[in-house]
Each structure stands twice: as structure tokens, then as C-alpha cells.
Amino acid sequence: MKHIDLKNLGRYSDVLLSRDGEVISLRFADPTDADALQSYFRGLSAGSRYNRLMGAASELPAGELERFLHVGMDDGFSLVATTKRDGVEVIIGEARYAIDDKDNSLEIGLSVDDAMQRQGIGMALLRHLECRAAALGADRLLGDTLRSNDAMLALARKAGFAFAPTPGDWKQIRFEKKILHAAEDIPCLGWRLAAMTASAHAL
């Protein structure tokens, strides 16, 4: 699989569109996001936080926060989806993926702020991760979620993922999708152009 240029992370930033046409920036998380990212997780509903962290927690555990903020640690990469509120950048979603060179796959997880759900942001993130997997040369995209996480299961089903038991954990279910197309690079040009056009029309 291809690996990204850790010295030039800005080139992998992207823009997405919500169902309402709101432009959402997507970039790698970095150490300056520590407070904002922790605030984002604290602001999730108890149910959303439980589903994302696979257990009860009031915030992102310290070890997990460290991994989220350092790109490439343990071959893991974290993205934050942001928008502007009164001129201030606010995190409204996040996604994380881990590269597995042995299986030629990307393992993923994501969440969206409760107030921003049902606006197509989760699907946009999932499609972006699929594009990113293709650009990196992965053969498949996969993730594990709780069997009770109806929202994630519905999202994965709508995006064309297949389901199977998660090995070694009956409480979880695995969603998986083969990558059948190739993408030239990150970000996906079509999505960037659509968002830039929408942004220009809003001015």
C-alpha cells in the first residue's frame, strides 16, 4: 500500500458537503486540536459516545487522545470534520483509520455531532474514507461496531458494506467492503470541486 507524506499533511485536506449544502473542511488532527477534540467527545450524547468508544466514558481516554493527535502513530490516522461558527472553527465530526499492510486493508471508525446527524455528513465521511482507501491502494475497507449501533449499521448498509461477525467478540459486528475502483490521489477531485462551487455560490 502507498503511504502518505507525513511532512506535507496539508495536501491531504479535503472539503465535503452536507445534505443542506454546508461546506465542511476535513483535515488531519494535530496536537493543537487536543482541547477542541476532547470538547467534541464530551459534547456527544451518552449513546453516541458509547457507540464510538465501545463502552461508557465521559470523554476520550488519555491514551486514545494521544493516538488521535499524532498522525501515523501505530499506523493510525485521525481526521476532523470542521465548520465555521461565528468565524470560529468547530469540530462537528471525526474519522479514524488504521492501515494494515499485511491484509492490504483500512480499518475505520467515525462519529458525527448529534446536532449535525441526518444531514449526510456520516455518509460523506464514509465515502471519503472509501476514496482514501482506494488512493492508498487498499483492497478493502472494514470496521467493527456494536450490534446495538443501529445508526452505524444503517449507514454501512446504505453504503454497500457487507456484514459478518467480529472475530472474538459477539457484541460487535464487522462491516466490510471491497475496493473495486482506483482513485488517483487524495483528496477526491470531484468532491472538492463540488464543495468549492457550492462555497463560491454562497458568497
Cis peptide before 61 (omega within 30 of 0): no
Lowest mean pLDDT among 62-66, 78-82, 181-185: 181-185
pLDDT at 13: 84
Bigger pLDDT: 194 or 162? 162
CB atoms within 10 A of CB 142: 22
Q: How far is CA 100 from the centre of its chain?
A: 17
pLDDT tens by residue, 89-119: 999 999 999 999 899 999 999 999 999 999 8
Task: For residues 123 and 125, give the distance between their C-alpha atoms in angstroms, rounded to a whole number.
Answer: 5
What pLDDT was estimated at residue 1? 72
> Using 50, 70 and 90 to split pLDDT, how confident is the model at 72?
confident
Q: For residue 53, what are the contacts with CB-CB under 8 A and spacing of at least 6?
A: 41, 60, 61, 64
Please report the pLDDT score of residue 184 as a whole number.
53
Which pLDDT score is estimated for 166? 96
- Which tops the pLDDT comparison, 34 or 189? 34
**All three cell numbers of 60:** 476520550
Residues in the chain: 203
* Whether residue 201 has pLDDT greater than 50: no
Residue with cell 474514507: 129
Bigger pLDDT: 175 vs 87: 175
pLDDT of 81 reads 95
Give the up-direction half-sphere exposure of residue 178: CA atoms within 13 A in the CB hemisphere. Answer: 1
Average pLDDT in the chain: 86
Rounded to whole angstroms, what are the CA distances from 80 to 21, 95, 129, 145?
A: 18, 7, 12, 20
What pLDDT score was predicted for residue 194?
A: 45
Residue 188: pLDDT band with limits 50, 70, 90: low
Query: Is the distance from CB of 183 to CB of 190 less than 8 angstroms?
Result: no
Handedness of CA 69, 194, 161, 158 (dihedral sign): positive
- Residues 99, 145: Cα–Cα separation, whole Å: 18
